[in-house]
A = this chain, B = another copy of it.
Amino acid sequence: MSPLSRTSSTAPRGLARRNLAIRSLAPTRCFSIAKNNDTRKERVVILGSGWAGYGFARTLDPAKYERVIISPRSYFVFTPLLASTSVGTLEFRSILEPVRRLPGKIGFYQGWADDIDFNRKTIRVETNAAEEAASKTVVPAPFPPPSETSGLEKDLTAPPKQPKGDIIDIPYDKLVIACGAYSQTFGIEGVREHAHFLRDIGDARRIRLRVLSLFEQCSYPRGSDHLSDADKRQLLHFAIVGGGPTGIEFAAELHDLIRDDLAPMYPELMPLVSITVYDVAPKVLPMFDQALAKYAMDTFARQNIHVKTEHHLERLRLADGEFGRRHGALKIKIHERGDDEVGAGLVVWSTGLMANPLMAKLAAKDLALPGANPPTTSPPKTRRLLRDPRTGGIMTDAYLRARTTPTTSSDQPPSPPDPNPTKPDASSSSSSSSSILEDVYVIGDCAVLSNHPTLPKTAQVAAQQASHLARQLNKNGAEGVGAREFKFRNWGTLTYLGSWKAIHQSQADELRGWVAWVVWRGAYLTKSMSWRNKMLVPVYWVVSWLFGRGISRF
């Protein structure tokens, strides 16, 4: 038998050329921190890979600056679509953007910024390249609230924990702090251990596994340890705490998953399923006006999603016995219901942000005054980063530059911030009354603008701050930054409600229903996404609609 052989040592030349052409758009990116051959460019180090950090790195011009990102997470998460991935409408990777794929040369080190020496302009990083590092929301162990600064200082004097990873020092010329915020449990017992969060992609994956597993657990016939209908009603009760857009959208997506994909597979379980959204406030979706919020509530009512406002969770615990141990059933104690605990199979905690503890640590450091040879006064004068006592974030001026305040004495807390700071000089090197820390900028959730301290902590704000800062640096470096204040433009809010309906509110417009849903879907094909994901996301929308969502557990 003579073989029909086609020997070809490479792919056809045309395709090979195209392959090389595309690959050439991705030039070499990595470089060693020790060998910075390009001495003309300043190094800008960015802490964080979220809306602020990634957005800033994306806009900063690699021809003018050397960009280095330090983050425990090597990718950006497109959070508005996170709820969709948590039920399988979209796949996880279609909303992730690897940092190393940003165009142009970029450095990246996976790890946590443990400490910053502002005097020597060096960042101490604890590396962690473990396989699933940082994909899940980390809630720090019980921590005194930021307003009790005395407690905080006690905490900072505790012996430092042993680092698990290698420690490396990264020098910078300019630093952009974009560390974001942590989830806040308000110290409520059991939330940290038993609730699911929804802020990162690992969270979405765990929620997805849990939801599907609960239906599977309830689908067995009577056995030696059977679940009664009352048990199943508890296991199939999905409780969401927090009536903001995250909680509302998750409830909506969960409803669609159950209606479209799980009802045909588990029809006998449908009468036992319920979804409840709890919030302490009198109304959910506070950023929407009354009419739209009411429309949202009516839509939820028609879909059988219960909304219980003015309900305070007091405790979360595992149910007793095998029910809790084997099935993970939970019991929620709600203040308004007295001693009657509510059973649930899944509790999603989508409320509460608290400052990254690193902010407190940095704000407690004594920094040298700028440009001064240390005088022979005793004790030497120092200054500290200014922290917002209410939220714990670092305060900045209107140009996103970190503000400082003179340290009165090491035992006294820093003086309260000047609510109306005078516009700083364009030159930031004025010595005696400088109130900013040179070359250090803060953006995103961990920043508090002095002239607008109540800006919400949203993706929109973070993205706009990042864009603004990068553009100003591109134009004219530090002087460029001082030339133009940051102004937030509110493009409005969109929230999906389930059943192909959404609400949208902006200064120009209000939309509801199916049209808002189209806008909702369209708005997310934005420049924050790579072309890879701009292709994948619509494909998944179509595939999920035609053939159902992905429902396998692994």
A30 touching B543, Cβ below 8 Å = no
Choose from B166, B264, B530 the contact partner of A23 (Cβ within 8 Å).
Answer: B264
Q: Which of A276-320 contact B (CB under 8 A)?
A: 291-292, 295, 302
Q: Which of A456-500 contact B (CB under 8 A)?
A: 499-500
Interface hit among A8-16, A348-356, A368-376? A8-16
Choose from B110, B514, B531, B545 the contact partner of A19 (Cβ within 8 Å).
Answer: B545
* Complex-state Cα separation, A135 to B74, whole angstroms: 26
Residues of B with C-beta under 8 A to A265:
26, 29-30, 100
Nearest neighbor of A109 in chain B, beta-carbon distance: B220
Q: What is the total number of copies of this protein in its complex?
A: 2
Shortest Cβ distance from residue A218 to the other chain B in the assembled complex, whole angstroms = 9
B129 touching A5, Cβ below 8 Å = no
* Complex-state Cα separation, A132 to B205, whole angstroms: 11
Nearest neighbor of A5 in chain B, beta-carbon distance: B512
A551 touching B98, Cβ below 8 Å = yes
Say yes or no: A166-B223 contact (C-beta < 8 A), given A3-B291, A546-B22, A547-B531. yes
- State whether the Cβ of A59 lies closer than 8 Å to any Cβ in chain B: no
Choose from B209, B220, B268, B514 the contact partner of A8 (Cβ within 8 Å).
Answer: B514
B220 touching A127, Cβ below 8 Å = yes
A514 touching B210, Cβ below 8 Å = no
B220 touching A168, Cβ below 8 Å = yes
- State whether the Cβ of A366 lies closer than 8 Å to any Cβ in chain B: no
* Complex-state Cα separation, A100 to B287, whole angstroms: 41
Choose from B26, B108, B543, B550 the contact partner of A264 (Cβ within 8 Å).
Answer: B26
- State whether the Cβ of A382 lies closer than 8 Å to any Cβ in chain B: no
Shortest Cβ distance from residue A518 to the other chain B in the assembled complex, whole angstroms = 10
* Complex-state Cα separation, A416 to B519, whole angstroms: 72
- State whether the Cβ of A221 lies closer than 8 Å to any Cβ in chain B: yes
* Complex-state Cα separation, A109 to B546, whole angstroms: 26
Say yes or no: A32-B268 contact (C-beta < 8 A), given A6-B514, A8-B513, A551-B98. yes
B131 touching A553, Cβ below 8 Å = yes
Nearest neighbor of A108 in chain B, beta-carbon distance: B219
* Complex-state Cα separation, A550 to B536, whole angstroms: 12
Nearest neighbor of A514 in chain B, beta-carbon distance: B8
Interface residues of A, CB < 8 Å — how many?
A: 107
Say yes or no: A132-B23 contact (C-beta < 8 A), given A224-B167, A512-B6, A515-B6. no
Say yes or no: A202-B554 contact (C-beta < 8 A), given A168-B221, A213-B131, A514-B6. yes
* Complex-state Cα separation, A447 to B270, whole angstroms: 40
Nearest neighbor of A27 in chain B, beta-carbon distance: B264
Q: Which of A1-46 contact B (CB under 8 A)?
A: 1, 3-12, 19, 22-23, 26-34
Interface hit among A89-97, A113-121, A144-152, A390-398? A89-97
Residues of B with C-beta under 8 A to A548:
26, 101, 532
- State whether the Cβ of A222 lies closer than 8 Å to any Cβ in chain B: yes
Say yes or no: A226-B166 contact (C-beta < 8 A), given A11-B500, A74-B553. yes
- State whether the Cβ of A339 lies closer than 8 Å to any Cβ in chain B: no
- State whether the Cβ of A217 lies closer than 8 Å to any Cβ in chain B: yes
* Complex-state Cα separation, A28 to B553, whole angstroms: 21
* Complex-state Cα separation, A226 to B34, whole angstroms: 13
* Complex-state Cα separation, A221 to B169, whole angstroms: 9
A23 touching B260, Cβ below 8 Å = yes
Residues of B with C-beta under 8 A to A168:
220-224
Residues of B with C-beta under 8 A to A216:
74, 110, 129
Q: Which of A504-554 contact B (CB under 8 A)?
A: 509-516, 530-532, 535-536, 539, 543, 545-548, 550-554
**Given pairs A8-B514, A10-B500, 7 additional interface contacts (CB within 8 A):** A75-B552, A91-B93, A92-B554, A96-B554, A129-B220, A131-B213, A167-B225
Q: What are 13 A-B pairs at a CB distance below 8 A?
A: A3-B509, A6-B514, A6-B515, A11-B499, A26-B264, A74-B216, A96-B552, A100-B265, A130-B213, A132-B554, A168-B221, A202-B554, A532-B548
